[in-house]
Structure 1
Amino acid sequence: MKLSEKKIQKKKEDIILSAVKIVNEKGYQKATMEEIAAELLMTKGSLYYYFKNKEDLIFQCHEMVLVQAIEELQQHINVKQSNEEKLREMIKTHIQYAIEKKEMFNMIIKPDQTFSEDQLNPILLKRNEYAGLFDQVILAGIKTAEFTIDEPKIARMILLGSMNWIQQWYNPFGSKTIEELQQIYADYMLKVLK
């Protein structure tokens, strides 16, 4: 990759990170290209050099968050430890993303409400890849008798569904820290699988 291409790629990443921040603060509908540009001390027009429109920028933000989440889960899977411990770390990671990147994560949960038909297919493929990592560890845990469930896919849907619901009630000023909630969720979810 040429130096100029690296600079363009770096600038796109900076824009995406700013967009993630603005969307997480304001929500998808209220986030504007002007605010994203202002965050980077750029003009709105200069954003269009890198992205076709707000939808394209948000799509790439979403893709970046999903890719990062998949990479983090994959790192937990690759660590030499029990399937129970792998799943515990995966649950903690999911909770962290669900809380800290709420707006982006909401788009993962309901992509058909945000993205065009052309954008939807790659998003659904990535989302299925993400869910498949949970399936992989749950199935491995069944084989090693760490988990004793009969319906691994349903167990995964219960697991992800309950973790996704945290966005509906989580209060950053509540009595539990993110770390405490991660631990509580992991403890309860792992009990379900035993």
Structure 2
Amino acid sequence: MSKREVLTSIKDERLIEERRTQMVKGAVSLFKEKGFHRTTTREIAKSSGFSIGTLYEYIQSKEDVLYLVCDSIYEEVRERLEEEMHLEGYTVQCLEKAITHYFKVINELQDEVLVMYQEAKSLSKDALPYVLKKELEMVGMFETLIRGCIQSEQFLLDDKEIKLLSHHIFVQGQMWAFRRWWLQQHYTLEEYTNIQLKFLLKDFSVQSV
């Protein structure tokens, strides 16, 4: 599935990237405070540091801004996950390290993750499948690590268990953001991570069978 094109009248790719980065940062704070539907394009422009006229040189609608927000968030999470996924060998320790890094990334981007989950439902029909595909690609990164652990005979799982565990890992990381109103009053990130690692992995290692 190809990336959705957001039309612009500007030809300078560097300037497009710079302005849209400003736009995403400005929109995230507004969407968090007011929600997508109650936020106006004029407010987005002001929060981004330029005029409404300039805003419409880089997008055609408020929905374009939401798409850029979701696309940007997923791309940053993916890139930062990949930094930690290039590990030597497939071991339970490598998987634990990758999960721990993923939880840290979510912690650092929790406002963005929260906005994305609150507002992704407002994406257009052509944009939503692309954004969801990017999420599945990140889930697939964990699936690759799990399958590697099976090949190295450290895990015993069937195909359905592999897929569900991959999604489970991904969602438990996100839960740190969208349940933070309670979780972060009772756990540090380290405590949360260590408990989740026990919940997620203890029943699948060869030693526990």
Q: Which residue of 2 aligns with 1:11?
A: 19
Query: What value does the CA root-mean-square deviation take over the aligned residues?
Result: 2.8
Count of residues in correspondence between the two structures: 189
Q: Which residue of 2 aligns with 1:20?
A: 28
Contact 1:91 1:185 in 2 (8 A): no
Q: Quick check: 1:158 aligned with 2:177?
A: no
Contact 1:76 1:86 in 2 (8 A): no
Q: Which has the larger radius of gyration?
A: 2
Contact 2:106 2:177 in 1 (8 A): no
Pick from 116, 123, 141: which aligns with 2:124?
Answer: 116
Which runs of 5 or more structure 2 residues have no equivalent in the other structure? 1-10
Contact 2:24 2:65 in 1 (8 A): yes
Which runs of 5 or more structure 1 residues have no equivalent in the other structure? none
Pick from 58, 67, 75: which aligns with 1:67?
Answer: 75
When residues 104 and 169 of structure 1 are mapped into structure 2, their CA distance, relative to the original with a 3 A threshold, is: closer
Offset of residue 82 of structure 1: 4.7
Give the letter aligned to residue 41 of structure 1.
G
When residues 52 and 30 of structure 1 are mapped into structure 2, their CA distance, relative to the original with a 3 A threshold, is: same
1:125-167: CA deviations, max 9, x gaps? 2122111111111111111123233321122233334444444
Give the letter aligned to residue 106 of structure 2.
Y
Q: Give runs of ≥4 in structure 1 deviating > 6 Å.
A: none
Q: Which residue of 1 aligns with 2:204?
A: 193
Identity %: 22
The alignment's TM-score, normalised by the length of structure 1, stands at: 0.79
Of stretches 142-151 and 126-135 in structure 1, the one that deviates more from structure 2 is 142-151
The alignment's TM-score, normalised by the length of structure 2, stands at: 0.74
Give the letter aligned to residue 102 of structure 1.
V
Contact 1:97 1:105 in 2 (8 A): no
> Residues of 1 paired with 2:204 and 2:112: CA distance?
27
Contact 2:165 2:200 in 1 (8 A): no
Contact 1:155 1:193 in 2 (8 A): no
